[in-house]
C-alpha cells in the first residue's frame, strides 16, 4: 500500500514540473468569478484576506462520492471521523480541532446542534444541489459567531436562471456475505436523487429529494436516509429580493459500537433534522441590509437495545430559533459591516433534562483596500450567553498582492466554543456523565499564508499556531469510571498545510492533479493517569493526492489518502471513479478502498472494505 501511494505521489509531482503553456478551460478565471458569501461582506475569491478553500460543482461531479461526508474526506485539513459510512453519522474537525469546534452552515444559516455536534452533519442538502463549498480556516467568530473556533464550512446551493432536472440512481456492494445473525445475502445498497430547478431572470426555485438505503457493511450497520430540500430566490427589482429555504433529513442507522462498544452491539439511532429560513436583501444607496429568521429542529432517538425500547433508550428534542440583521455601508474611506443576532435554544431530553439558554451577539467589521495591493479586514464580536455571561472576540486579517498571481496574508483572531447540553448535563452512567460546572473554550490563533494562482496552477502554503484555554476533554481515571468532561487548561497546536493544483490540455486529452499535505503538532496539558478521548483521535499527518483525466466524453478520477493519528497506526486509502457522458445522461462506476485496507476513523468501528458502485445520471436543461 505504501508503495502504491508513493507511486501515485511521484506521478503527481512529475505533473507539477510540466510547462504552464498547456491550459484547459481557465480554472483561475472560474475561481475569480466566485464570490465568498460572508454574512456581511461578499468578497471576490482573489481578494480574501483569510485562508479560504473552494470546492466547485465541477470538482464535486468528478469525485468518487455520493454524500457530503464522503466528499469532505478528500479535503486537506478536514478530519471526517465516520461512524456510519454512505453519508451516515460522522464528526468533523478542522486543523486538529474537535468536532464541537467547527461550524457548518448552509447559505449562511448555522447548523449548530446544541444537544451534541454528533448530529451537525445531518444535512438535508444533496451533492447535486450544491454550487460550491467555502472552507474558512482559523477562528471565524467575528464573521459567524460562537462555535466557529477552528473554522467554518459554508455550503452554497445553486441559484440558476435556467430550468433543469437531474436524476441520479446508484447501487453498490462489497460482495461480502452478511455476518451470522444478520440475515442472508450480501451487504449492499444504493440510492436515488432527484434535483430540479425552475428559473428565469426574476426568480428560481430549487427542489431536491434523496433516498439512500443500505443493509449495512457489517453486523447491525443498516441505514435508511431520506432528504428533502428547497431553496427559492425572488428578485423584486435590482435593489430588493427575497430568499426562502427549507430542508428535512431523516437518518436511521444501526449504531453498533458507536458510543459504548462492545455493549451497544444491538443499538440503533434515528436522527431527524429540519431547517427553515426566510430572508431578504435590500440595497438603499450605499447601505445594504439583510434580515433573516431561521429555525433548526432536531430529534435524536437513541435505542441501546433496538429490540427492547423500554430499556436503555434516550430521546432528545432540541430547537433553536435564530434572528439576524446584517448591514454593510460602502464609503470612500472603506466598507463598514455590522449586525446583531440572537439564538434562542431549548432542549427536552430523557437523560439531559429540560433546559433553555439564549445567546445574543453584536458584531462589527471594517474592510479597506489601500490601492490595489494591500487589503485590511478587522472586526470584533461581542457575545452574551445566558449561561456564561459576556465575552468579546476581536480579530484582524490582512493581505498583500505582489501582482495578479502572488499573494501573502496573515491574521490573528479569537474564538469560542460553548459547551453543549450533553457536555453539561448528560447522565449515561457508567458510560458518560456531564459536568454542569464547565466553562466555554476560548482561543487565539495566528496564521500566515502564501498563495500563487496563474494559468491553472494553484499553490498554497500556510502555517498557524492556536492556543485554547479552558479546553474541554472527556476523561476518565480508569476503565471502571465513566467519561466526564473537564476544562483541562491549555491545548496548543502548531500546524502546516500545503496545497497544489494544476490542469493541462493536450487537445482531446486533459489531465490534472491535486496534492495536499497537513501536519499537526498538538500539545495538551493533561492530568496523569487519565484516558483522554481527544488524544486518542487527534490527527497528525494527512496526505491527499488526486489525479483526473478526460478524453472527449470519458473522465477518470483517482484519489489517494494517507491518514496518521497521534496514537494509532497510519492507513492508506485509494478510490476511483470512471464517468462517461452521453448527450443527456452519463454512467459512472466507483471503487472505494481499492486495496481493501482495514481502518477505523472513530472509536472501535471498522469502516467498509473494498466497495463497488455503479450509477446513471440523467440531465435535462431548458
Q: Please tell me whether residue 310 adopts helix, strand or coil conformation.
A: coil
Residue with the three cell numbers 490527527? 539
Q: CB–CB of 63/69 below 8 Å? A: no
Which triple of cell numbers denotes residue 340?
A: 446583531
Q: What are the tens digits of pLDDT across the range 170-200? A: 999 999 999 988 888 999 999 999 999 999 9
Listed residue (342, 240, 328, 345) closest to 293, CA to CA: 342
CATH number for the domain including 342?
2.40.170.20
Question: pLDDT band at 89, cuts 50/70/90?
Answer: confident
Q: In this predicted model, what pLDDT tens digit does every residue of 349-392 receive, in sequence order?
A: 999 999 999 999 999 999 999 988 999 999 999 999 999 999 99
The residue assigned the cell 466553562 is 439
Count of residues for the chain? 622
Q: Rounded CA gap, 169 and 184, in Å? A: 24
Residue 32: the pLDDT is 57
Is the pLDDT confidence value at 94 over 50? yes
CA dihedral 462, 467, 473, 478 (to 10 degrees): 100
Model confidence at 31, in pLDDT bands (50, 70, 90)? low
Sign for the pseudo-dihedral over CA of 27, 29, 34, 35: positive
- Cα atoms found within 13 Å of the Cα of residue 301, Cβ hemisphere only: 10
Mean pLDDT of 452-476: 91
Count of domains for the chain? 1
* H helix or E strand, kind and range, residue 267: none
Q: pLDDT, tens digit, for every residue of 393-408?
A: 999 999 999 998 999 9
How far, in Å, CA of 552 to CA of 574, rounded? 25
Ramachandran bin of 489, using left for φ above 0, alpha for ψ from -120 to 50, beta for the remaining angles: left
Calpha distance 290→105 (Å, rounded): 17
pLDDT tens digits, residue range 264-288?
899 999 999 999 999 999 999 999 9
Task: Give the pLDDT band (50/70/90) at residue 22.
Answer: very low
Check: CB of residue 141 under 8 Å from CB of residue 149: yes
- Nine cell digits for residue 27: 480554472
Kindly indicate the confidence band of residue 465, based on its pLDDT and cuts at 50, 70 and 90: very high
Preceding peptide of 430 cis, ω within 30° = yes
- C-alpha span between 125 and 138 (Å, rounded): 25
Return the number of other C-beta atoms located less than 10 Å from residue 195's C-beta. 22
DSSP 8-state code for residue 45: G
Strands (DSSP E) found in 138-239: 151-157, 164-177, 186-199, 203-214, 223-235
Which pLDDT score, from 0 to 100, does residue 42 have?
Answer: 75
H or E segment and range at residue 549: strand 539-551
Backbone torsions φ then ψ of 424, nearest 5 degrees: -85, -40
Phi, psi of 60 (to 5 degrees): -60, -40
Give dist(CA 452, CA 499) in Å, integer: 10
Burial string for 102-116 (b: 16+ CB within 10 Å, else e) reads: bbbbbbbbbbbbbbb
Q: Locate 456 and state its grid cell.
A: 491553472
What distances in angstroms separate CA 386 from CA 143, 359, 390, one per listed residue?
21, 6, 9
d(CA 530, CA 477): 5
Instruction: Using alpha carbons, select from 616, 507, 564, 576 the residue that is nearest to residue 24.
Output: 507
Q: What are the tens digits of pLDDT across the range 223-249?
A: 999 999 999 999 999 999 999 999 999
Quote the mean pLDDT of the chain: 89
Q: Which of 265, 264, 252, 294 is nearest to 105 (CA)?
A: 294
Could you tell me the pLDDT band of residue 536, with boundaries at 50, 70 and 90? low
> Which pLDDT score is estimated for 25?
45
Between the CA of residue 9 and those of 76, 265, 330, 515, 546, what are the distances in Å? 15, 39, 47, 8, 9
Span 519-538, mean pLDDT?
71
pLDDT value for 45: 75
Question: What is the full DSSP assignment across 418-468?
Answer: PPPHHHHH-EETTTEE--TT---EEEEEEEEEEEEEETTEEEEEEEEEEEE
Closest CA to 78 of 499, 609, 421: 499
Mean pLDDT is lowest, of 1-5, 418-422, 461-465, 484-488, for 1-5
Q: With contact defined as beta carbons under 8 Å apart, do 89 and 83 qualify? A: yes
Phi, psi of 59 (to 5 degrees): -70, -40
R_g over Cα of the chain? 24
H helical segments located in 40-197: 57-62, 68-72, 141-144
Q: Is 189 left (phi over 0), alpha (psi -120 to 50) or beta?
A: left
By residue range, what is the domain housing residue 160? 2-621
Amino acid at each position: 500500500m505504501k508503495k502504491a501511494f508513493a507511486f501515485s505521489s511521484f506521478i503527481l509531482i512529475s505533473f507539477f514540473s510540466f510547462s504552464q503553456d498547456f491550459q484547459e478551460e481557465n480554472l483561475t478565471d472560474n475561481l475569480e468569478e466566485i464570490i465568498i458569501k460572508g454574512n456581511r461582506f461578499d468578497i471576490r475569491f482573489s481578494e480574501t484576506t483569510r485562508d479560504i478553500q473552494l470546492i466547485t460543482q465541477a470538482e464535486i461531479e468528478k469525485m468518487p462520492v455520493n454524500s457530503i461526508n464522503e466528499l469532505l474526506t478528500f479535503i486537506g485539513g478536514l478530519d471526517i471521523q465516520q461512524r456510519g459510512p454512505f453519508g451516515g453519522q460522522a464528526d468533523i474537525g478542522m486543523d486538529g480541532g474537535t468536532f464541537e469546534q467547527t461550524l457548518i452552515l448552509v447559505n449562511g444559516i448555522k447548523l449548530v446542534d446544541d444537544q451534541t455536534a454528533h448530529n451537525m452533519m445531518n444535512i438535508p442538502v444533496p451533492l447535486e444541489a450544491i454550487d460550491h463549498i467555502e472552507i474558512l480556516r482559523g477562528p471565524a467568530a467575528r464573521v459567524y459567531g460562537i462555535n466557529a473556533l477552528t473554522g467554518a464550512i459554508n455550503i452554497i446551493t445553486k441559484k440558476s436562471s435556467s430550468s433543469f432536472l437531474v436524476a441520479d440512481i446508484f447501487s453498490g456492494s462489497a460482495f461480502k456475505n452478511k455476518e451470522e445473525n444478520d440475515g442472508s445475502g450480501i451487504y449492499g445498497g444504493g440510492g436515488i436523487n432527484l434535483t430540479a430547478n425552475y428559473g428565469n431572470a426574476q426568480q428560481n426555485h430549487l427542489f431536491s429529494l434523496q433516498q439512500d438505503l443500505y443493509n449495512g457493511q457489517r453486523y447491525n450497520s443498516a441505514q435508511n436516509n431520506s432528504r428533502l430540500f428547497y431553496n427559492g430566490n425572488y428578485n423584486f427589482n435590482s435593489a430588493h429580493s427575497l430568499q426562502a429555504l427549507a430542508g428535512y433529513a431523516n437518518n436511521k442507522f444501526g449504531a453498533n459500537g458507536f458510543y459504548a462498544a462492545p455493549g451497544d452491539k444491538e443499538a440503533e439511532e434515528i436522527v431527524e433534522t429540519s431547517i427553515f429560513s426566510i430572508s431578504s436583501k435590500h440595497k438603499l444607496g450605499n447601505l445594504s441590509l439583510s434580515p433573516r429568521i431561521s429555525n433548526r429542529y432536531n430529534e435524536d432517538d437513541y435505542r441501546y437495545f433496538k429490540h427492547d425500547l423500554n430499556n436503555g433508550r434516550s430521546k432528545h428534542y432540541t430547537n433553536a430559533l435564530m434572528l439576524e440583521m446584517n448591514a454593510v455601508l460602502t464609503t470612500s474611506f472603506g466598507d463598514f459591516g455590522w449586525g446583531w443576532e440572537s439564538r434562542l435554544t431549548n432542549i427536552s431530553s430523557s437523560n439531559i433534562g429540560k433546559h433553555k439558554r439564549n445567546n445574543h451577539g453584536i458584531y462589527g467589521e471594517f474592510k479597506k483596500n489601500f490601492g490595489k495591493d494591500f487589503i485590511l479586514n478587522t472586526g470584533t464580536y461581542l457575545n452574551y450567553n445566558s449561561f456564561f455571561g459576556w465575552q468579546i472576540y476581536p480579530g484582524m486579517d490582512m493581505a498583500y498582492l505582489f501582482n495578479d498571481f502572488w499573494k501573502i496574508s496573515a491574521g490573528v483572531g479569537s474564538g469560542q466554543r460553548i459547551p453543549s447540553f450533553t457536555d453539561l448535563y448528560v447522565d449515561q452512567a457508567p458510560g458518560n456523565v456531564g459536568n454542569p460546572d464547565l466553562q466555554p473554550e476560548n482561543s487565539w490563533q495566528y496564521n500566515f499564508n502564501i498563495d500563487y494562482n496563474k494559468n491553472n496552477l494553484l499553490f498554497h502554503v500556510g502555517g498557524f499556531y492556536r492556543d485554547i484555554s479552558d479546553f474541554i476533554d472527556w476523561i476518565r481515571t480508569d476503565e471502571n469510571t465513566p467519561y466526564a468532561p473537564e476544562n483541562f487548561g491549555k491545548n496548543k497546536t502548531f500546524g502546516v498545510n500545503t496545497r497544489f493544483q494544476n490542469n493541462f490540455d493536450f487537445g482531446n486529452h486533459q489531465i490534472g492533479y491535486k496534492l495536499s499535505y497537513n501536519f499537526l503538532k498538538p500539545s495538551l496539558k493533561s492530568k496523569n493517569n487519565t484516558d483522554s478521548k481527544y488524544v486518542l483521535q487527534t490527527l497528525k499527518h494527512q496526505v491527499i493526492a488526486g489525479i483526473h483525466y478526460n478524453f472527449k466524453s470519458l473522465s477518470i478520477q483517482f484519489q489517494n489518502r494517507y491518514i496518521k493519528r497521534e496514537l494509532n497506526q497510519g492507513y492508506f486509502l485509494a478510490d476511483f471513479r470512471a464517468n462517461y457522458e452521453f448527450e443527456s445522461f452519463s454512467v459512472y462506476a466507483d471503487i472505494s478502498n481499492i486495496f481493501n485496507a482495514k481502518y477505523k476513523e472513530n472509536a472501535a468501528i471498522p469502516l467498509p472494505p473494498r466497495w463497488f458502485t455503479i450509477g446513471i445520471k440523467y440531465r435535462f436543461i431548458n
